[in-house]
Structure 1
């Protein structure tokens, strides 16, 4: 019998088609798996140990999935809980689950898989030569990291499922681990398990209707079959094969704990207008390593935003910013005694090159330009003070000494906003383990009355 995995969405909090989910539940899956996040949005979630997604959105969608789990009578698994998978966000997700179980009158056994790493463990692994840098990798400084996580693989999810848990709330995992775990446990083809998990990791993104969310994958000893659950969606050999490039620079190889997936020989066949069959993927065993992610505070930020609409200034915005920056550098040094090594001041022209910078290539002048000033300093009070110092000049500074003072628009008052800590990624390494559970731990809880076996 194939192992049937239902994936409701690419991430909890993004939404999914409820009719499609109901259709998937009716097809009697063996497990329901969903991802909780990634590093896509930058280092803040990991550094602060906070979810990117709102608690209200997370709870409303998790409610639906807990109801689906109860109806299907199968485990429900979330990986990288709370966007970043820190211990604090696993607990945050556990609190939401506890609330919902009580509101829904459900009795559930919950396994929490923690991925957080103490500094001492990493230090010992470094000393033993068990930590290897990836590319690119920063120099390791363990003294100021706010959070460190290791990416769990299939083995850790299998250990959590082995507890008999109804719900598994996992810390940081690879995007594919939750989906691949049960097929591998059932003895399905390892290459197909990892390949199918990669295809399904983002839900219906591998289909012609990505926003529908819900996808079903059947795994067996020869490969896998993928089918979207929304009536308006279809999987094609192109949409399925193309997903190997998603967040992966190599379309043929994908590294996971314990080896890598090779899809060089994979064959994609359309079974009908909706389903695609894939065979020929291979799993190549290797050393058991887990990726390490860490973040640290790199400073504190204040921003300021002004709008240029005067055609003269719009046309010469880059020159104005260059002149303004030079002037402000002198003012900050003379009034605050700070040199450029003590802070950074960057202006981005929104509507011109705010995203691509010097790589931008466009013709014609926009009607208006947003000027975003970003101040980074060693403390929030210093960043805020610089923001207040430059405020009047961002509003009135002239393009040349011979013209009268201009007036620009601030979209809100005050024009400055204190953003708080700025985090940066500080680890991009792998750590070798002698046992898959060596760097992870599982804690169990029972919510509601235990149901007799």
Structure 2
């Protein structure tokens, strides 16, 4: 096999892609269709709650197109971090979608399910054995954090996916996976260099985000040979450039020369980017260096309470000028009003957009220039009822707060919504971001093979 062609339809399953771009990719006769389906970017709620951050119908649309095309070409579809966070409920959620597609389209599918969620007892045992270490800059793991976790997943490498490919399946649904693995595993299995395979996967997992102009909802093709790979966006409006590809190589990484992943490092010190025409870039020189210990990243989330928010705005220049002192006073009012409630039972936050709502205390611009401010009052408490109470009091206190120079005697705030207080429910926090040393990267991620489909209701 001289080369392997990988079609990446979209940056995240459910983000969509133009059919024209996808069909253009099919004309290249790809060897696999692969897609990343998850991320920690949307925050800990989705891991902790077991819900997907992507819409079910949107995911179903993307998968239906991909699976039907793959069946016609007799190639596999690989999905990494199924369901958005890659836990057991996320994997089951994605499996159910595939089952529906198979039945609706009359397709007989062999599906591989790779679990990436760990039982707490197993993690506790590994903790006691000293096999878990912190991933900088977090602190060493505490046993109580393991016990309080709602869900713990580990990022699988290429090995469990290669095992699934050995079973000649139609679809692979992997739980939490290192982003490049579903793109790289078939290439490594076919004998291509691991460093180039993983580096190409690193680019393809975000599809056309690495193009110019970039898009997370468009297709990219990767063609890997023994000593290089070529990237080509499948929308003629886009192009890959040396800069766009090199920049995306550094995406979400702190070290420009090393990309850390399960079992080793992609070494980029000798990597070269070459423009081969006005739309395609060739990449050479990336190497994979194995670590002495095989480690995987653990991700855990725990529930910390319930949230209620109130969204408001102000355009009064007198209030805007005093906003910091007003917020401080309102917080003190809440503290005094709820003196009978333990301080650790609730948290109260203000996010002021137009001042420092994005960066908070890290905002370098101290001079306030906005003519209006957007204010989010956020209460987190042990119960939804307490969060409602804290938010309600704080909102009303700020609404009628009598600051110096106030002219109006009515409300200080404008509310875009009624009701003004919005109950958002459970709140989760990432509490595990550590490395687990494992002896066998295949056995750590159990594989299940199922047969689905065959019906067609017309």
**TM superposition score category, shorter chain reference:** over 0.9
**Structure 2 SS opposite 1:269:** strand
In the other structure, the counterpart of 1:227 is: 232
2:357 counterpart of 1:351: no
1:299-326 alpha-carbon deviations (Å, 9 max, x no partner):
2211122221223212322222122222
Q: Is it true that 1:447 corresponds to 2:452 in the alignment?
A: yes
Q: Which residue of structure 1 aligns with residue 150 of structure 2? A: 146
Q: How does 1:374-413 map to 2 (within 5 A)?
A: 374-400=378-404, 405-407=409-411, 408-413=413-418
1:283 corresponds in structure 2 to: 288
Aligned residues: 447
The question of 1:168 aligning with 2:168 is answered no
1:151-196 C-alpha deviation (Å, 9 max, x unpaired): 0111111111112110111100001010110111111112211111
Match of 2:273 in 1: 268
Greater mean alpha carbon deviation, residues 184-193 or residues 345-354: 345-354
CA apart distance, 1:88 = 0.4
Q: How far apart are the structure 1 equivalents of 2:194 and 2:304?
A: 41
Q: Does the Cα contact within 8 Å between 2:334 and 2:390 map onto a contact in 1?
A: no
What SS does the aligned partner of 1:299 have?
strand
Offset at residue 21 of structure 1 (A):
0.7
The answer to whether 1:248 aligns with 2:253 is: yes
Structure 1 pair 332–5 and aligned structure 2 pair: CA distance change class (3 A): same
Say whether 1:184 aligns with 2:188: yes
**Any conservation in 2 of the 1:69–1:76 contact (CA below 8 Å)?**
yes
Which residue number in structure 2 is paired with residue 342 of structure 1? 345
Q: Shift of residue 110 of structure 1?
A: 0.8
Segments of structure 2 that go 5 or more residues without pairing to the other structure are none
Equivalent residues in 2 for 1:122-137 (5 A)? 122-137=123-138
Q: 2:304 aligns with which of 298, 308, 312?
A: 298
Report if aligned partners of 1:6, 1:214 keep a CA contact under 8 Å in 2: yes
Alignment pair present for 1:369 and 2:370: no
- Choose the corresponding residue for 2:206, options 182, 186, 202: 202
CA-to-partner distance for each residue in 1:92-114, whole Å, 9 max, x for gaps? 00111111111111111111111
- TM-score of the aligned structures, taking structure 1 as reference length: 0.94
CA distance in 2, matches of 1:191, 1:437: 20
Q: In 2, Cα distance between the equivalents of 1:133 and 1:357?
A: 27
Q: Who is 2:95 aligned against? A: 94
TM-score normalised by L of structure 2:
0.93
1:314–1:365 Cα contact (<8 Å) kept? no
Q: Does structure 2 conserve the Cα–Cα contact (< 8 Å) formed by 1:244 and 1:252?
A: no
Cα offset for 1:433?
A: 1.5
> In structure 1, the residue corresponding to 2:10 is in which secondary structure?
coil
Bigger shift: residues 137-146 or 284-293? 137-146
TM-fit CA distance, 1:394:
2.5
Aligned partner of residue 152 in structure 1, secondary structure: coil
Change (3 A) 1:159 1:392: same
- Residue of structure 1 equivalent to 2:36: 35
Q: State the SS of the aligned residue for 1:352.
A: coil
C-alpha deviation, 1:204, in angstroms: 0.9
Equivalent position SS for 1:116: coil
- Counterpart among 314, 327, 335 of residue 321 in structure 1: 327
CA deviations over 1:130-159 (Å, ceiling 9, x no partner): 212111224332211100001011111111
Partners of 2:366 and 2:85 in 1: CA distance: 37
| Partner SS state of residue 84, structure 2 | coil
Which residue, 421, 430, 438 being the options, matches 2:443? 438
1:268 is paired with a residue of what secondary structure?
A: strand
Please give the alpha-carbon distance, in whole angstroms, between the structure 1 residues aligned to 2:453 and 2:369: 63
Deviation larger for 264-273 or 165-174: 264-273
| Structure 1 gap ranges (5+) | none
